[in-house]
A = this chain, B = another copy of it.
């Protein structure tokens, strides 16, 4: 199997998420980083490329040059897809230009700064016919797929209730400077929801197979002086009647990366926690709670296919991320807009738009004192391609 060639925009040395992308792309040996414009600072971009052993000729001073230069290379050699690992305000311009230049795109979340940008991006994706994936890493964990498969198979009965929370503490104190995530011009009008709330929202829809129809939100900038929310509580109503609660906070000291989902149906419930990702709990009133661990014979086909190690040998965040990259590599190889079966679950432009619609509705609801707001009706239709 030949490696799929990746270019990267953003993600230069020192950044957290750029390194994760490189590690995740490298893990399975199916993706090769061949070029990049790693920073708005050309010198930092150059240093980054050198550190990672790239051909200096393919380390570009900015993303426009990258797209032009790579597009001009022979097909057998040029980057096949672009990973967009920039602050949010560049997602739309970079991703759109890359798609229009014929590249597939693997984009960091949130998809864009706001819903309007996400819709604009969706049009470009549709027109391009190129694969587009969104980095909802947590969808890469095997036990998240196990949860999804069991719910789809009816093991819980009809889903009635979802509690999804994403607790962090790193913004409890002022981090010094104004990180771009707290700057609406670069991040968009939302802080915490755009940064981590979209993960929780995606996870809830991904695991349950349900769509949020409306919501009521209470957002706050808890730390004085912030221009975007750093704490959010959102009540959810799913189409079909299930209820949900989504909590996202970045001002909860001592919480590291506390993404947790609990789903309760008529007959059973389940729970998954990202910090202990190799365990899925399945519970009922009439039987002892079952601890499903990764790699075991009790897991379904999909979870097993996404697992690299035997039981008791933990996998983690990088492996989950690598599962996205591996699925995306399959999609890029397949070439067209429609993903091959093993990549069908990959979050894409539909999830991008829904995520931003969620943020948009939450901001609107909170501004209206917590009034219920529907997600745009047309979004539900995008489900069937």
Contact = CB atoms under 8 A, between A and B. Distances in A.
A293 B255 CA distance: 11
A124 interface: no
A23 interface: yes
Contacts of A235: 218, 233, 235, 370
A283 B258 CA distance: 13
Contacts of A290: 287-291
Interface string A121-164: 00000000000000000000000000000000000100011010
A269 interface: yes
Interface string A1-45: 111000000000000100110110011110000000000000000
A366 to B, nearest CB: 11
Interface in A236-284: 243, 245, 247, 249, 251-258, 262, 264-269, 274-278, 282-284
B53 A3 contact: yes
A65 interface: no
A210 interface: no
A253 B271 CA distance: 11
A197 B268 CA distance: 22
A252 B308 CA distance: 23
Interface stretch (A78-86, A179-187, A315-323, A374-382): A315-323
Interface string A221-239: 0100000000101010000
A51 B1 contact: yes
A120 interface: no
Interface stretch (A87-95, A168-176, A329-337): A168-176
A177 interface: no
B293 A291 contact: no
B269 A264 contact: no
A177 B8 CA distance: 49
A280 to B, nearest CB: 9
A272 B251 CA distance: 19
A314 B316 contact: yes
A289 to B, nearest CB: 4
Contacts of A255: 264, 269, 283, 312
Contacts of A19: 308
A345 interface: no
Given A231-B161, A289-B293, A313 B317 contact: yes
A64 interface: no
A286 to B, nearest CB: 6
Given A26-B29, A216-B370, A220-B243, A314 B275 contact: yes
Contacts of A28: 23, 26
A212 to B, nearest CB: 14
Interface of A: 1-3, 16, 19-20, 22-23, 26-29, 51-53, 156, 160-161, 163, 165, 168-170, 172-173, 216, 218, 220, 222, 231, 233, 235, 243, 245, 247, 249, 251-258, 262, 264-269, 274-278, 282-293, 295-298, 308-319, 369-372
Given A26-B27, A275-B314, 16 more contacts: A2-B53, A161-B249, A163-B165, A169-B269, A169-B283, A172-B267, A218-B235, A249-B264, A278-B316, A288-B290, A288-B293, A289-B291, A291-B291, A309-B318, A370-B371, A370-B372
24 contacts: A26-B27, A26-B28, A29-B53, A156-B253, A163-B165, A169-B284, A172-B285, A216-B216, A216-B218, A231-B243, A233-B235, A251-B264, A254-B284, A255-B269, A256-B311, A257-B313, A286-B298, A288-B292, A289-B291, A291-B291, A313-B317, A314-B317, A315-B317, A318-B319
